[in-house]
Amino acid sequence: MRNRAVLFGLFFIGYSSCVFHATPTRASLVENPDVESTHVEQWDSNGKRLLQVDGPKRILAEERGMSEGILPAAEAVEKTKVSEKAVPRASLGSKLNPMTWPKRILHKLKLWYARFLHWLLRKATVDEKTIDRSMMNGLTPSNLKRVKNDILHYSSSVPHDKIEIETDYDSYVEHFFGQFKGLDKDPPVFEMDKWNNLEKEMTKAEGYLKRRALNTVSRNIDKGLSNEQLISLDVSPFVYMRLLEKRGVFKDVENNKDKIDQLKDYIKAYKEHLMVEQ
């Protein structure tokens, strides 16, 4: 019995060694593509071991398929990481950024202030008589233009009353410069009665504004400033003409031609400057 057991053990060892050396490995299949087939180990869903006859081409295809499947997945992961980094968490221009709040508040305040001024100017330019009162109080086209530009500039979008703003401005400018047509006649004509009667109808507040405008223009004219300097100070050509009328220039045209010519030159320069800045 002992001899039989030894012989059986030797037989089992020798048979196992032969089977082991006769079965080609995966590496040997790649190095020796002439091998016809091999047993490729596989497992089913239940965990049972299966044997499948396959060749080296299938093995290479499986390895290539694994590499082709892994690389795109890795690239997709990298792209996903890059895209996440590219998404801005807090933009500098975002409304939620506290750094932009002071600028936005200042922008809103300027817009409200400009609209308030426009409301006041609309009240001052309702009709021709109201425009005349505003002109006597020193309101110039440049004042109205600055308010118009402020509203258009500080609005986050085009204001719905843009056409109305432009219409108010154009009508005021046309009426304003229409008052100087009589200066080109010989002798120059100035409607003194119209403005004197309007002056009598003014309230105390309007009378104060009228006197202040005349005093301001009088100081600048008496300094002998040039047209460019007067324009920079926004001296009203209409108040300038009213000042000359108050001083009796139009009653003695022959002796005051130089003053009237200076007024006409200033009106021309003022209008050209206004049109250039449109």
Q: Each residue of 218-243: pLDDT tens digit?
A: 999 999 999 999 999 999 999 999 99
For residue 220, give every residue at least 6 positions away whose Cβ sits within 8 Å of its Cβ, in sequence order, or none. 229, 230, 233, 235
Query: In this structure, are residues 133 and 124 in contact, taking their beta carbons and an 8 Å threshold?
Result: yes
Q: Each residue of 185-205: pLDDT tens digit?
A: 877 877 778 888 888 888 898
The whole-number pLDDT of residue 155 equals 67
The whole-number pLDDT of residue 99 equals 78
Query: In this structure, are residues 271 and 177 in contact, taking their beta carbons and an 8 Å threshold?
Result: yes
Residue pLDDT tens, the chain, 278 long? 555 555 556 555 555 555 445 545 544 444 444 444 444 455 555 555 554 544 555 555 555 555 555 555 555 555 554 444 444 545 555 666 777 788 888 888 887 887 787 787 788 778 888 889 889 999 999 988 888 887 777 765 566 677 888 888 888 999 999 999 888 887 787 777 888 888 888 889 888 999 999 999 999 999 999 999 999 999 999 999 999 999 988 888 889 999 999 999 999 999 999 988 75
Helices of type H across the chain? 2-22, 26-31, 56-86, 101-124, 128-136, 141-154, 162-177, 192-200, 204-222, 227-232, 237-246, 257-276
Domain boundaries, the chain: 108-276
Q: How far apart are CA 158 and CA 253, in angstroms?
A: 50
The whole-number pLDDT of residue 91 equals 54
The C-alpha R_g of the chain, in whole angstroms, comes to: 49
The whole-number pLDDT of residue 9 equals 60
For residue 55, give every residue at least 6 positions away whose Cβ sits within 8 Å of its Cβ, in sequence order, or none. 29, 35, 36, 37, 38
Q: What is the largest CA-CA distance in the chain?
A: 160
The whole-number pLDDT of residue 26 equals 47
The whole-number pLDDT of residue 37 equals 45
